[in-house]
Amino acid sequence: MEFIKLTGVCKSFKAGKRLFSVLKNVDLSINQGEFVVILGASGSGKTTLLNLIAGLDKPEKGEIVVDGTDITQLSIDKLSAWRAENIGVIFQTYNLMPYMSALNNVALPLIFQGVNKKTRIKKANAMLQTVGLKCLSQHACQLLSGGEQQRVTIARALINNPKLLIADEPTGDLDSKNAEDILDIIYALYKERETTILMATHNNQYTRFADKVINVIDGKVVSYDR
């Protein structure tokens, strides 16, 4: 069943007086429950594409429909609420609160949803257990290794059981061993939860995890591979 559909999506950015076209008339279709790798070099438009699908940015032109909702038509407030309910994001640079514990970082999204403290702690501990970090739950994130911080990011992204998990170069700052460990965790969670996953990478080796590979070159989707 079709879960994500992009039609004629364009996005540009200004730098001084110059206008740079980042995405150019992108048409895209992704089915529910697929693990999709978006493959392309740095600067190809992968991150911009993910940000638009996640509702972190809006296109100048085109339509983005996710699970039946045209998110390009939502107000900022409604888009924020929609994102909190439906989307989990794993960032390359973690985006954690460095002085907060791993537990509190994972629980943070639940605060904004009004979940009580007891339930937040229970759910956050369960997610840290899932990614193998419950023993470090009280450690400040700044004291954790890169691989451990990325596991915290994964736990935080999944705390709301999102319909769509977006991973933007999730192994970009990790050594090869930690990178493989993180990908194994993401893939295992995908198989267990049947969550739709979009993962951007420049590493062709990671396409082995994918149901579908979308190649992006210079802001254009140039091919789909299954």
How confident is the model over 163-184, as pLDDT tens digits? 999 999 998 888 888 889 889 9
Q: What is the DSSP letter of 55?
A: T
List all residues 6 or more positions away from 109 whose beta carbon is below 8 Å from its beta carbon. 84, 156, 159, 160
Q: CA-to-CA distance for 79 and 85, rounded, in angstroms?
A: 10
Rounded to an integer, what distance in angstroms lies between the CA atom of residue 149 and that of residue 66?
29
Mean model confidence pLDDT for the chain: 92
Q: What is the pLDDT of residue 16?
A: 79
Residues 6+ apart with CB under 8 A from 154: 90, 131, 170, 182, 185, 186, 189
CB 174 within 8 A of CB 165: no
Q: Of residues 103 and 181, which shows the higher confidence score?
A: 103
Q: What is the pLDDT of residue 191?
A: 87
Residues 17-49 pLDDT 10s: 888 899 999 999 999 999 999 999 988 999 999
- Are the C-beta atoms of residues 198 and 167 closer than 8 Å to each other? yes
pTM of the model: 0.91
Calpha distance 195→34 (Å, rounded): 8
Which ranges in the chain belong to alpha helices (H)?
A: 46-53, 76-86, 102-112, 117-130, 146-158, 176-193
Domains and CATH numbers, the chain: 2-225 (3.40.50.300)
Torsion angle, CA of 159/161/165/169, rounded to 10 degrees? 20
Identity (one letter) of the amino acid at 53? I
Distance in angstroms (rounded) separating the CA atoms of residues 29 and 31: 7
Instruction: Give the pLDDT band (50/70/90) at residue 107.
Output: very high
Residue ranges of alpha helices (H) inside 28-75 are 46-53
In the predicted structure, residue 226 carries a pLDDT above the cut 70: no
CA distances from 224 to 27, 103, 162, 207, 216 (A): 11, 39, 25, 12, 9
**What is the arithmetic mean of pLDDT over 212-216?**
95
**How many other CB atoms sit within 10 Å of the CB of residue 203?**
13
Is residue 128 pLDDT above 80, yes or no? Answer: yes
Q: Which residues contact 58 (CB under 8 A, 6 or more apart)?
A: 52, 72
